[in-house]
Amino acid sequence: MKIGFVGLGIMGKPMAKNLIKSGHELLVYDLLEKHVQDVVKAGAKAASVTEIGLECPIMITMLPNSPHVKRVVCGRGGLLESAKQGAILIDMSSIAPSASQEIEKQCAEKGVLMLDAPVSGGEPKAVDGTVAIMVGGDAAVFERVKDDILLKMGASAVHCGPIGAGNTTKLANQIIVACNIAACAEAFTLVAKAGLDPNIVLNAIKGGLAGSTVMNAKVPMMIANHFVPGFKIDLHIKDLDNSLSAGHELGSPMPLTAQVMEMMQTLRADGCGQDDHSSLANYYAKVSGKRIGHAG
């Protein structure tokens, strides 16, 4: 099947490559030519947004935030200007649920079907094709693309409800991840302050109730003081900003999310916005004077 893919960043690039590996023909676009050429070498064809709209019955967007998706889909020269009636747009970006709903209305006016389908798992799972995909939109449209497209990029794809439900589910995911990472950083700073070996404590804890995928992935990075991004602080700030906005709109209390957001904003102000979100450990190092790893 011919698929258009717009947005070849940390997540989009490996996801596009997995679609190529599964036998799909891809037309790809990104603002950065080096990202395009990397995927072209894997078998894709470089194309403009207009060409993708004209030629592809399936269009996938994987972009940073709501304004980027609105511009690429609905803006001048965007996908909707050239897309054919009956085409399917799968927006896999993590954006505000209300933005997904606004974009879907404009898609419907053009006869284009839309799903919001953000993912969780970070770069390693995007490379392995094992991300979790959370989908909002018409259930019948979801079934049309689930096996041959979504499950070529992810280990699971779950229909969560109407349009916007995918991104609401992703926001819930991001709240849990952020608070979990912060709790790990706080706990292991305590461990370091007590003079204990964090590796031993990690092995003691991870098999019990506190054990989690987040702990297994992020605490070793804290111990190593190694924060090469699988998911950047700046991107998590974007997700928590959308979470707080959604919470305020719905009257849902968000005190823990707000606290972790302020920690991440402190790291951004310190020039760490491009570090992995496990660098929340650096917030605790700053206020406690003690790093978790042996270097501290």
Measure the CA–CA gap between 50 and 57, rounded to whole angstroms: 13
When pLDDT is averaged across residues 63-83 and rounded to a whole number, the result is 96
Query: What pLDDT is recorded for position 294?
Result: 61
Q: Which entry of 152, 170, 232, 238 is annotated as an active-site residue?
A: 170
Average pLDDT, the chain: 96
What token pair was written down for 124? 């390693």
How do residues 117-151 score in pLDDT, each as one tens digit?
Answer: 999 988 889 999 999 999 999 999 999 999 999 99
Q: Is the pLDDT of residue 295 over 50?
A: no
Measure the CA–CA gap between 132 and 119, rounded to whole angstroms: 5
Q: Residue 296's pLDDT band (boundaries 50, 70, 90)?
A: very low
Residue 232 a catalytic site member: no
The candidate with the shortest Cα–Cα distance to 116, out of 130, 140, 97, is: 97
Q: Is the pLDDT of residue 4 over 90?
A: yes
How do residues 179-223 score in pLDDT, each as one tens digit?
Answer: 999 999 999 999 999 999 999 999 999 999 999 999 999 999 999
φ/ψ of 30, rounded to 5, equals: -155, 155
What token pair was written down for 164? 């916007």
CA 267, distance to chain mean position in Å, is: 20
The candidate with the shortest Cα–Cα distance to 13, out of 37, 32, 31, 39, is: 39
Q: State percent of the chain over pLDDT 90.
A: 96
When pLDDT is averaged across residues 53-77 and rounded to a whole number, the result is 97
Domains of the chain with bracketed CATH: 2-162 (3.40.50.720), 168-288 (1.10.1040.10)
**Three-class SS of residue 28?**
strand
Q: Is the pLDDT of residue 293 over 90?
A: no
